[in-house]
Amino acid sequence: MARLTGRNTGTAPRSIDVARLAGVSQKTVSRVMNGEQYVSDDVRRRVLEAADALGYRLNHAARALASGRTQTIGVVTLGTALYGPASLLMGVERAVRDTGYALRVVNTMEGDAAGIAGAVDSLLDQGVDGIVISEPIDEEGGANLSVRVDVPVLILGAPPPFAASRVVTAGLVSHQLAQAVTEHLLELGHTTVHHLAGPQRWYAARDRLEGWRATLAAHGRREPPVIEGDWSAASGYAAGRRLAADDSVTAVFAANDDMAIGLIRALLEVGRRVPEDISVVGLDDIPVAAYVTPPLTTVRQPFDATAQDGLKLLVHAIENPDADPVPVDNPPVNLVVRESTAPPPNRTTPERRRTTD
Amino acid sequence: MARLTGRNTGTAPRSIDVARLAGVSQKTVSRVMNGEQYVSDDVRRRVLEAADALGYRLNHAARALASGRTQTIGVVTLGTALYGPASLLMGVERAVRDTGYALRVVNTMEGDAAGIAGAVDSLLDQGVDGIVISEPIDEEGGANLSVRVDVPVLILGAPPPFAASRVVTAGLVSHQLAQAVTEHLLELGHTTVHHLAGPQRWYAARDRLEGWRATLAAHGRREPPVIEGDWSAASGYAAGRRLAADDSVTAVFAANDDMAIGLIRALLEVGRRVPEDISVVGLDDIPVAAYVTPPLTTVRQPFDATAQDGLKLLVHAIENPDADPVPVDNPPVNLVVRESTAPPPNRTTPERRRTTD
DNA sequence: CTGAAAGCGCTAACAC
DNA sequence: GTGTTAGCGCTTTCAG
């Protein structure tokens, strides 16, 4: 194809076109577009006007090729609409937006053989300056990432599962959330607290379990057997059926709200009242939590704060390859006490209280 | 497993390195990497082996620059973890994955001045071969996209709000979903059905309202005044308070499950039973819908099917610039009848009206 | 402060 | 079937 140096019919304008119109060199256009210093205000204005007149749009592919930087961050998520992961993803998008980077997304399905390693690999393949791994789960020891990753990595909601050149983390708060829940229940007077855990391949699920366990131990309470669910309301329902059969259960901490809701449903179906007979607490504070019956006591997860803090670290690591990671504070724990928790029933003198809701 | 040695450390293997190792020309490597024809099996194997040995990774930026195609699709979503939009996004990711394209994501916040146009613009800026707009909302007539869009666009869940060179749509089923719900309620014997609509800036909300309205009209029923919510359980709750004051209400169709749940909560609080006094239906079939009290009757949205169908169209449009768009079938409507719907209560006065239909 | 030259790693067109 | 020759549109030296 011949050089279309003079005309650009149907072709997007290039920086050289802008340069000609503004009467400067192409390099100067580049300087202006990148907001570099050492450009006189007059030249800058002329370039900007010319660019605007032409409808100039910087070609990112060319920039990436020449500079080796893509100005995009890749995120690996679970391919699920679960409230937690979805909220985190949205938080990440917002946070990335603020940093001026673009966002690429790749999902890992649960049970995906390639798992996180495959997703990271494909991101590296597409070209990203940094990677966010959101809520990783261990897929068959998939934690060992055999890919060499030489861009900074942010792990959200789990400690570094593998060694990469520069890894930062954020959102390691499940432990505290679980502690807050457990203590709330203990303070109400419950002798102990049962736990309906999330799938243990998830770090978040393990961390919540540990937080619960540690809190119980700290208060010298007996640790009841753990029931493991899969985050779904259906699994909560199944767990509720089992728990309802045990008269000693007076308080249950479900690792997320969906399971808590399923659990409550099962309890109600067999005639156990919540919270009069059994208190139930969830975790997440999903949008409907305040409107189920009874309104659910739960802890809110700080998704946006986590995403923002994490991205700040990641971008810092990208742009300052040699600097040390700056630690961020953990966001405050936000326990939302509603009506699914109450003191344990008085066994000797059952309180007969009528509630219409 | 691939290894990455460093993007511009001078050590990143390029196609020419692979070519040298395999003893072929660089162009041949390119042919092999792109799966082109006319490469002997022997050469292909040698190239692949050399690439693997070197840990070669194709440079997408260079490819994009040279070919003008990015092999990525951009998606514009609402920056919300609402079940509907989040599910659609996940569906899109999965579908995009299957097509071999990569995915870029940009959010539009509600109330964002730049709105969809800005998001599309930024996507165009980053370089994409096609664009998916998921559940657009009208932001102050933001429908007029002043940007020139010269890549195919897929609109999910709404008709084309603007003129672009090639626009395809999918997921226009809200109307039918609303119809299914309304008819279900009518068939149970309700004289009419009230509607708690979604925010009318959303096409999905308008379409549901239209579906409900048309169905009522088709059955010759009176159309009660519409209450508008904002998708949230809180707005459903507020609507429930108002509706509960009206004795004539026996059936309500809420435009999504969250609002339905809030609505039910409000009804229960003032002593109106669901479904004995009032039937309530939602829309979405969120994960907890089956476990709230009472279990919610709702219609499931075909997110995955919509995303897949839509992406098929989009990719077709991308790869066949001149072909006509192929229409796809609408997925079947999936009404899930649970326990929040029942025949209307028996009035003390049998003012039962005969309907001939 | 500004400009000229030299690629970044790949694909496209056309030879062979 | 395979190689050769040009660029894609930008950023990078390095001059002035």
Using an 8 Å CB-CB cutoff, list chain A residues near B126.
Answer: 60, 72, 102
* pLDDT score of A209 more than 50: yes
pLDDT bucket at B256, cuts 50 / 70 / 90: very high
* pLDDT score of A140 more than 60: no
Angle at which helices B83-99 and A83-99 pack, to 10 degrees? 80
Distance CA B93, CA A262 (A): 29
Looking at the structure, tell me whether residues A291 and A187 fall in a common domain.
yes
Q: Tell me the average pLDDT across A199-214.
A: 95
- Residue given tokens 């996507």 in the structure block: B123
- Nearest chain A CA: its distance from B354 CA (Å): 36
Looking at the structure, tell me whether residues B202 and B53 fall in a common domain.
no
Using an 8 Å CB-CB cutoff, list chain A residues near B2.
Answer: 121, 124-125, 147
Q: Over the stretch B168-186, which tens digit does the pLDDT of each residue have? A: 989 888 999 999 999 999 9
* pLDDT score of B144 more than 50: yes
Structural domain boundaries enclosing A290: 174-297
Q: Does residue B352 sit within a domain?
A: no
Q: Over the stretch A75-117, which tens digit does the pLDDT of each residue have? A: 999 888 899 999 999 999 999 988 989 999 998 876 665 678 8
Distance CA A227, CA A240 (A): 10
Domain boundary among A58, A76, A92: A58
For residue A296, give the chain B residue with the closest CA: B292
Q: Does residue A95 sit within a domain?
A: yes
Looking at the structure, tell me whether residues A226 and A83 fall in a common domain.
no
Q: Tell me the average pLDDT across B243-259.
A: 97
What confidence score (pLDDT) does residue B298 get? 98
Higher pLDDT among residues A157 and A285, named by residue: A285
pTM: 0.89
Domain boundary among A244, A275, A297: A297
Distance CA B34, CA B51 (A): 13
Distance CA B43, CA B297 (A): 61
Looking at the structure, tell me whether residues B132 and B184 fall in a common domain.
no
For residue B2, give the chain A residue with the closest CA: A147
Nearest to B126 by CA among A91, A57, A33, A123: A57
What confidence score (pLDDT) does residue A16 get? 93
Looking at the structure, tell me whether residues A290 and A308 fall in a common domain.
no
What confidence score (pLDDT) does residue B5 get? 32
Q: CA angle, B276 as apex, B270 and B280 as ends, to 5°?
A: 75
To the nearest 10°, report the CA torsion of B258, B263, B266, B271. Answer: -130
Q: Over the stretch B93-124, which tens digit does the pLDDT of each residue have? A: 999 988 989 999 998 876 665 678 888 888 99
Q: Tell me the average pLDDT across B238-263.
A: 97
- Nearest chain A CA: its distance from B346 CA (Å): 22
Q: Which residues fall within 8 angstroms of residue A183, CB to CB, at 6 or more apart?
A: A215, A219
What confidence score (pLDDT) does residue B36 get? 83
Looking at the structure, tell me whether residues A159 and A139 fall in a common domain.
yes
Q: Tell me the average pLDDT across A319-344.
A: 87
What confidence score (pLDDT) does residue B6 get? 34
What confidence score (pLDDT) does residue A166 get? 83
Looking at the structure, tell me whether residues B284 and B321 fall in a common domain.
no
Three-state helix/strand/coil letters over B52-80: HHHCCCCCHHHHHHHHCCCCEEEEEEECC
What confidence score (pLDDT) does residue A326 get? 73
pLDDT bucket at A346, cuts 50 / 70 / 90: confident
What confidence score (pLDDT) does residue B156 get? 92
Using an 8 Å CB-CB cutoff, list chain A residues near B287.
Answer: 82, 232-233, 258
* pLDDT score of A64 more than 70: yes
Looking at the structure, tell me whether residues B190 and B42 fall in a common domain.
no
For residue A88, give the chain B residue with the closest CA: B81
* pLDDT score of A152 more than 60: yes
* pLDDT score of B3 more than 70: no
Q: Does residue A37 sit within a domain?
A: yes
Q: Does residue B38 sit within a domain?
A: yes
Share of chain A above pLDDT 90, in %: 67
What confidence score (pLDDT) does residue A331 get? 83
Share of chain B above pLDDT 70, in %: 88
Domain boundary among B250, B278, B297: B297
User: Strands (DSSP E) along B135-215, which ranges?
Assistant: 153-156, 167-170, 194-197
Spatial distance from the CA of B1 to the C1' of D5 (Å)? 35
Using an 8 Å CB-CB cutoff, list chain A residues near B258.
Answer: 287-288
* pLDDT score of A6 more than 70: no
Identify any residues that bridge with A279 across adjacent strands, giving them in sequence order.
Answer: A251
What confidence score (pLDDT) does residue A145 get? 56
Domain total of chain B: 3
Task: Say whether A126 and B72 touch across the interface (CB within 8 A).
Answer: yes
Distance CA A41, CA A46 (A): 9
DSSP state of B284: B
What confidence score (pLDDT) does residue B157 get? 86
Q: Does residue A352 sit within a domain?
A: no
Q: Does residue A214 sit within a domain?
A: yes
Task: Say whether A291 and B64 touch across the interface (CB within 8 A).
Answer: no
Structure tokens at B309: 């169908």
CATH number of the domain to which B123 belongs: 3.40.50.2300
CATH number of the domain to which A52 belongs: 1.10.260.40
Exposure on the CB side of residue A116, measured as CA atoms within 13 A: 28
Higher pLDDT among residues A160 and B125, named by residue: B125
Looking at the structure, tell me whether residues B267 and B218 fall in a common domain.
yes
Spatial distance from the CA of B217 to the C1' of C13 (Å)? 63
What confidence score (pLDDT) does residue B353 get? 45
The distance between the two most distant Cα atoms of chain B, rounded to a whole number of Å, is: 94
Q: Among the listed ranges A337-346, B63-72, B158-167, which one has the minimum average pLDDT value? A: B158-167
Higher pLDDT among residues B301 and A325, named by residue: B301
pLDDT bucket at B139, cuts 50 / 70 / 90: low
Q: Does residue B1 sit within a domain?
A: no
What confidence score (pLDDT) does residue A323 get? 75
- With a 7 Å cutoff on the CB, does B8 touch strand C? yes
Q: Tell me the average pLDDT across B180-205.
A: 96
- Residue given tokens 């003079």 in the structure block: A6
Q: Does residue A2 sit within a domain?
A: no
Looking at the structure, tell me whether residues A192 and A284 fall in a common domain.
yes
Residues 13-52/A with CB < 7 A to strand C: 24-28, 31, 38-40, 42-44
User: Is the C-alpha dihedral spanning B135, B140, B144, B146 positive or negative?
Assistant: negative
Share of chain B above pLDDT 90, in %: 65
* pLDDT score of B273 more than 90: yes
- Mean pLDDT score across all residues of chain B: 88
Looking at the structure, tell me whether residues B289 and B310 fall in a common domain.
no
Looking at the structure, tell me whether residues A182 and A229 fall in a common domain.
yes
Residues 40-79/B with CB < 7 A to strand C: 56, 58-59, 62-63, 65-67
- Mean pLDDT score across all residues of chain A: 88
